[in-house]
Amino acid sequence: MTDATLTASIRTERGSGPAGRLRRDGQVPAVVYGLGTDTLAVTVSARELDHILHSDTGANSLITLQVDGGDVLALARQIQRHPTRGILQHVDFIRVSRDRAVDAEVPIVIVGEAPGTKAGGKLEQQLFTVSVSALPDRIPTAIEVSIAGLALGDQIKVADIACPDGVTIALPADALVVQVAVPRGLTGTDEGEGEQSEGGESPEA
């Protein structure tokens, strides 16, 4: 994962008035904190940050903030946008270290086609993202889950996911990811007919 670079300027004024002026000027109010350091109030370019957040790695993009004469390695978190216009309103940057694992939300991408759906089953995805723990530069863009072997009634749980090296999913092993559910009546009809046949063959009391 290649770091993105973003210039940040120290922000001296606080409050909604100055924040509004910054946004009108194309800047985003932000704070930088973490790793036991003092919190910095900064501003960054809305256009440049939006470009980073819309890249393949999204909110898990490693960002080198150039601030106050030095570089800070960070991840963007608590990203606030305007509810209707989608404009960036505020961002928290969390300081990270390349040799210390961090937590991140990663999307699950389903690949393949489940044979069970051709037999009348319904594909049900229960998890669309997973929490993972990994070194900052090892956070995957997404985790692929193949459903190519799922027959009727089959399930894939967290324990079945093959994670990249150095990545751990921070969810219970038995958490359900995806399954091919058997619709009501798909197998019940055959079972019902079998029960009636057995009943017909039973001797009368």
Q: Give the CATH number of the domain where residue 65 resides.
A: 2.40.240.10
Residue 205 inside a domain? The answer is no
Residues 133 and 90 in one domain: no
Choose among 76, 65, 73, 79: nearest CA to 100: 73
Q: Which residue has the higher pLDDT, 94 or 13?
A: 94
Residues 62 and 133 in one domain: no
Residues 83 and 109 in one domain: no
Residues 9 and 85 in one domain: yes
CATH number, domain of 135, equals 2.170.120.20
Residue 114 inside a domain? The answer is yes
Over residues 42-57, the mean pLDDT reads 91
Residues 84 and 139 in one domain: no
Query: Into how many domains does the chain fold?
Result: 2
- Domain region containing 181: 103-189
Dist CA 30 CA 95 (whole Å)? 13
pLDDT of residue 187: 59
- Please provide residue 60's backbone torsions phi and psi, each rounded to the nearest 5 degrees: -95, 15
Over residues 24-33, the mean pLDDT reads 92
- Please provide residue 117's backbone torsions phi and psi, each rounded to the nearest 5 degrees: -75, -30
Query: Per-residue pLDDT tens for 147-196?
Result: 999 999 999 999 999 998 999 999 999 999 999 999 887 654 344 444 44
Residue 78 inside a domain? The answer is yes
Q: Which residue has the higher pLDDT, 1 or 186?
A: 186
CB contact at 8 A, 56 and 141: yes
Residues 148 and 163 in one domain: yes
- Cα–Cα distance list, 198 to 6, 31, 86, 191 (Å): 74, 73, 64, 11
pLDDT of residue 193: 41
Residue 203 inside a domain? The answer is no
Chain centroid, CA 145 distance in Å: 14
Residues 49 and 80 in one domain: yes
Helices (H), the chain: 16-24, 46-53, 115-118, 188-201
> Reading across the β-sheet that carries 155-157, which strands appear in turn?
122-125, 176-181, 155-157
Residues 71 and 114 in one domain: no
pLDDT classification of 200: cutoffs 50, 70, 90: very low
Residues 63 and 147 in one domain: no
Over residues 37-44, the mean pLDDT reads 93
Residues 125 and 74 in one domain: no
Query: Per-residue pLDDT tens for 68-126?
Result: 889 999 999 999 998 888 889 999 999 999 999 999 999 999 999 999 999 999 999 99
Over residues 20-25, the mean pLDDT reads 86
Residue 139 inside a domain? The answer is yes
Residues 90 and 115 in one domain: no
Residues 79 and 125 in one domain: no
